[in-house]
Every structure is written in structure tokens, then in C-alpha cells.
Amino acid sequence: MDTALTPSTVALVGIGRIGIMHARLLAHHDLVGRLVLADADSARASRAADELGCVSSTVDAVFDPSNPLGLDAIVIATATNTHSELLIRAAATGIPTYCEKPIALDLAEARAAQHALEAAGLPHHIGFQRRLDVGYTRAKQLLESGELGELRRVHALTADQYPPADQFIPGSGGIFVDANVHDFDILRWVTGREVVEVYSVGAARGSDAFAAANDVSEAVTVLTFDDGTLGTVHSSRYNGQGYEVRLDLMGTEGTANVGLDNKVPFRSTEDGVEFPPEAPWDDFIERFLPCYERELDHFLRNPVRGLPSICTAADAVEALRIALACKLSREQHRSVRLDEIL
Ligand SMILES: NC(=O)c1ccc[n+]([C@@H]2O[C@H](COP(=O)([O-])OP(=O)(O)OC[C@H]3O[C@@H](n4cnc5c(N)ncnc54)[C@H](O)[C@@H]3O)[C@@H](O)[C@H]2O)c1
């Protein structure tokens, strides 16, 4: 127990796939004194509250500017198409807010949320948990220390072992906005550079729900950064060997690899190579659980106490711009410069 800090009253809105994980982490966090759960599906919120021994409430009570629940913090883990509206409502309450990525599905909504948060001066955090990952942090430090020399190439990859439920796909924003947005955010954070141009291709394989939603299940993007660094970013919804998230940084003096751990879903064809020794990662929750824990802790110790967040709405808007450029590039079969996405 951290005796120097007062425990907070926290509302979590959205108790779906990731929301229930956040609820379990918050319920056991030293800095959470009281946890309130809310969901558009009120029965879902009540069931989770019963499981965790906390209370449930309505969504409207959480975002009521008179703060009838006495909240110190709000966590939003609802479907992506609700993030902008809920962030704008949160800004009107003045209660520090954490919101899952991506900030919105389109740029106008993302900017509206960013401006509302900034105009209200509201401490906030957007959930790009890789910024709290040990491997990505070390890669950033290696690059900043000069040990890798001058960065020339990067390769990032996000691949799910299993596709999401068909009903999740139409509201997800598509593979670039939903999945690769993590790669775009972490590439900006690790390299400190901005992407200036993208070229993306994709293929809708497997479930018909991808093509029906004008989405793809496989994608490859080529990136150019503002310092001339070149990059590739892959993604898949059908990576049969396991859940795979990696980043390779190639510099003139060395390389660094994030995610090349004992559970990376690889199979070597070389004689005598036993790597990796353990069963592959199953999904994002198994792979990133320690990061989600650190991220909530960061939120409770920093934005909730008026201190800066490691990932703001302004950052989330930039990651979304790259994702939207990729989407446009794939749809129009051409390279897209980021200054087209305004
Ligand atoms: N950071 C990560 O690694 C990560 C991983 C998975 C999902 N996410 C993000 O989390 C969000 C939720 O994803 P999910 O997979 O848990 O979705 P989900 O569909 O499983 O759950 C969404 C929940 O939000 C509720 N909801 C929808 N609209 C609402 C509203 N207006 N008010 C209150 N509740 C509402 C739904 O009833 C549901 O319980 C998405 O934005 C997704 O991109 C982030």
C-alpha cells in the first residue's frame, strides 16, 4: 500500500473484452478505494460488479458534470466509435480520464476530442500500452544513447492468432486503425520521428466479414520517416503460430529487437536451433498484461494527480493520421503523404 497517496474513486465505462480485464486490475489496485462499473448493457456491468464486489451505475451518472458519484477518475473502454463523444463529455466533468485506443475512427472526431480535452485542461491518458513495455523502453533508450548508430530501417509487426468476432469488425475502424495504430504510435515514440509517407496493400482472407466491412485481414505497409528512415509494418488476423508483436530497429552501429522473447511464435528450420523454448503467446492480454497493469498505475499516479501522461490525445491523433493514410493508400492503390491527412 502506497501510504503517501489517497486512494481514488474510479469509474470504468465499457465492460467488454478489455474492459473486464481493466476492471479486475482496478479492483485489486492499492490506489483504487472505490470502483464503479458502467456499460450501455447495464446487466453486463451488474454481473461484473457482483463478480468483483464493487458497484455498478449508469453511464449518464459517470459523465454528469455535477459528479454525483464523487469520482476522481474515469476509465473508458467502450467501443471505438464512442470514444470521441465520451471524451468530450469527460472534459465537461473535469475528472481525469483514461481512454482506450484508438481515440476515434475518423480525424474530425479525434480532433474534436483532443480540443475538448485541451480546452478544459483535463489531465488524460490514451491507452497505448506499449509505451509502458520494458522491451520498447529499452529499444528507445538504446537508440537515444547512440548505441545503434544512425537509424536506417525499422520493421514492426502486429499479428493476432485468431480473428476478432465477426460483429467486432465493422466498428473496429479496420486493421490499420484498430491494430497497426499500436505500431504507428510506438514507432513515433521509440524513434522520436514523424512518418511523412506510406504505401499500404492488404488482402481480405478468411471470414467474409472483412471484405463486407471494406477491411482486410492481412496488410503490409512501407513507411518513410522525416529523417529518411525507411520502415515496413505487417499485420494479420490469422497468425496461426501465435500472437506476435515485434519491432526491429536497424542502425549503422547495431540492431535492437523488441518481442524476440522465449514465447515469440517462430519455428526455426536451422539445425540445432531450439529457440524459442516456450509455448507461443496466445493473445494481447497474455502478452501485455504487465503493461496494462503499469499503464493503469501510471494513470492513477500521474494524470489523476494532475501530472503529465506518457500518451496524450495529441499523440493519439498523430497515430490515427498514419493509420488513416494507410487506409487511403490501400483503397486507392497509391502512396499517401501524411500532409494529405488534415
Ligand atoms: N490497448 C489494447 O491493446 C486494446 C485491446 C483490445 C481492445 N482495445 C480497445 O478497447 C475498446 C473496446 O474493445 P473491446 O474489444 O473490449 O470491445 P467489446 O465490444 O468487447 O466491448 C465494448 C463494451 O463497450 C460497451 N459500450 C459500447 N458503447 C457504449 C457506450 N456508449 N456507453 C457505455 N458502454 C458502451 C459495450 O456494451 C461493451 O460491453 C476498443 O476501442 C478497442 O480498440 C484496446
By the 8 A CB rule, do 304 and 33 touch? no
Predicted pLDDT at 2:
55
Quote the domain boundaries for residue 32.
Answer: 8-129+290-312
Which atom of ligand 1 lies at the shortest distance from residue 16's CA? 21
In a domain, 59, yes or no: yes
Domain identity same for 153 and 265: yes
Domain identity same for 259 and 112: no
CA 114 to chain centre: 16
Mean pLDDT to the nearest integer, 288-297: 98
In a domain, 1, yes or no: no
d(CA 237, CA 268): 22
In a domain, 219, yes or no: yes
Domain identity same for 236 and 158: yes
Q: What are 182's strand-pairing partners?
A: none
- Looking up residue 277, the CATH number of its domain turns out to be 3.30.360.10
Domain identity same for 164 and 281: yes
Residue whose CA lies nearest to ligand 1 atom number 30: 40
CA of 237 to the centre of ligand 1 (A): 18
Q: What are 225's strand-pairing partners?
A: 195
Domain identity same for 114 and 212: no
By the 8 A CB rule, do 197 and 183 touch? no
Mean pLDDT to the nearest integer, 7-22: 97
Neighbours of 218 (CB within 10 A): 19
DSSP E strands, 186-275: 195-203, 218-225, 230-236, 244-251, 255-258
Pairing of strands 124-127, 97-100: parallel
What average pLDDT is seen over the chain? 97
In a domain, 282, yes or no: yes
Domain identity same for 70 and 105: yes
* pLDDT tens digits, one per residue of 318-337: 999 999 999 999 999 999 99
Domain identity same for 22 and 169: no
Domain identity same for 50 and 117: yes
* pLDDT tens digits, one per residue of 212-258: 999 999 999 999 999 999 999 999 999 999 999 999 999 999 999 99
CA of 89 to the centre of ligand 1 (A): 17
Provide the 3-class DSSP secondary structure of residue 235.
strand
Q: Which of 178, 237, 232 is nearest to 201 (CA)?
A: 232
d(CA 151, CA 245): 20
Q: Which of 188, 18, 217, 11 is nearest to 101 (CA)?
A: 18
- Looking up residue 55, the CATH number of its domain turns out to be 3.40.50.720
In a domain, 3, yes or no: no
Res. 3: pLDDT tops 70:
no
Our count of domains for the chain comes to 2
Predicted pLDDT at 22:
98
CA of 37 to the centre of ligand 1 (A): 13
Mean pLDDT to the nearest integer, 186-191: 98
CA of 322 to the centre of ligand 1 (A): 22
Cα–Cα distances (Å) from 8 to 22, 125, 210, 301, 328, in that order, read 15, 16, 41, 10, 42
CA of 258 to the centre of ligand 1 (A): 27
**Ligand 1-lining residues (CB < 6 angstroms):** 13-19, 39-41, 44, 59, 77-80, 82, 100-101, 127, 129, 168, 178, 284
By the 8 A CB rule, do 247 and 154 touch? yes
Q: Degrees (nearest 5) of the Cα angle 176, 177, 178?
A: 95
Predicted pLDDT at 117:
98
Q: b/e per residue, 119-137, with b = 16+ CB within 10 A?
A: eeebbbbbbbbbbbbebbe
Res. 289: pLDDT tops 80:
yes
Provide the 3-class DSSP secondary structure of residue 60.
helix
Strands in 151-159's sheet, in edge-to-edge order, are 255-258, 244-251, 151-159, 230-236, 218-225, 195-203, 336-337
Mean pLDDT to the nearest integer, 128-142: 98
Which atom of ligand 1 lies at the shortest distance from residue 86's CA? 31
Domain identity same for 58 and 149: no
CA of 285 to the centre of ligand 1 (A): 14
CA of 39 to the centre of ligand 1 (A): 10
Q: How confident is the model at residue 176 (pLDDT cuts 50, 70, 90)?
A: very high
Res. 1: pLDDT tops 60:
no
Q: How confident is the model at residue 63 (pLDDT cuts 50, 70, 90)?
A: very high
Which atom of ligand 1 lies at the shortest distance from residue 173's CA? 43
CA 268 to chain centre: 30
Cα–Cα distances (Å) from 168 to 52, 54, 67, 179, 333, in that order, read 26, 28, 32, 13, 26
CA of 22 to the centre of ligand 1 (A): 11
In a domain, 2, yes or no: no
> In three state form, how does the secondary structure of 18-33 look?
HHHHHHHHHHCCCCEE
* pLDDT tens digits, one per residue of 67-115: 999 999 999 999 999 999 999 999 999 999 999 999 999 999 999 999 9
Mean pLDDT to the nearest integer, 29-53: 98
CA of 310 to the centre of ligand 1 (A): 22
Q: Which of 241, 256, 21, 275 is nearest to 138 (CA)?
A: 256
Probe target for ligand 1 pocket from 12, 13, 15, 17, with the most ligand atoms within 8 Å of CB: 17
d(CA 309, CA 290): 18
Domain identity same for 157 and 282: yes
Domain identity same for 207 and 114: no
Predicted pLDDT at 324:
98
Share of the chain above pLDDT 70, in %: 99
Q: Which of 236, 134, 121 is nearest to 190 (CA)?
A: 134
By the 8 A CB rule, do 328 and 336 touch? yes
d(CA 90, CA 112): 13
Probe target for ligand 1 pocket from 13, 15, 18, with the most ligand atoms within 8 Å of CB: 18
d(CA 312, CA 301): 15
Probe target for ligand 1 pocket from 78, 99, 284, with the most ligand atoms within 8 Å of CB: 78
In a domain, 197, yes or no: yes
Mean pLDDT to the nearest integer, 274-290: 96
Res. 296: pLDDT tops 90:
yes
Q: Which amino acid is at 11?
A: A
Residue whose CA lies nearest to ligand 1 atom number 18: 16
Predicted pLDDT at 4:
77
Domain identity same for 135 and 125: no
In a domain, 151, yes or no: yes
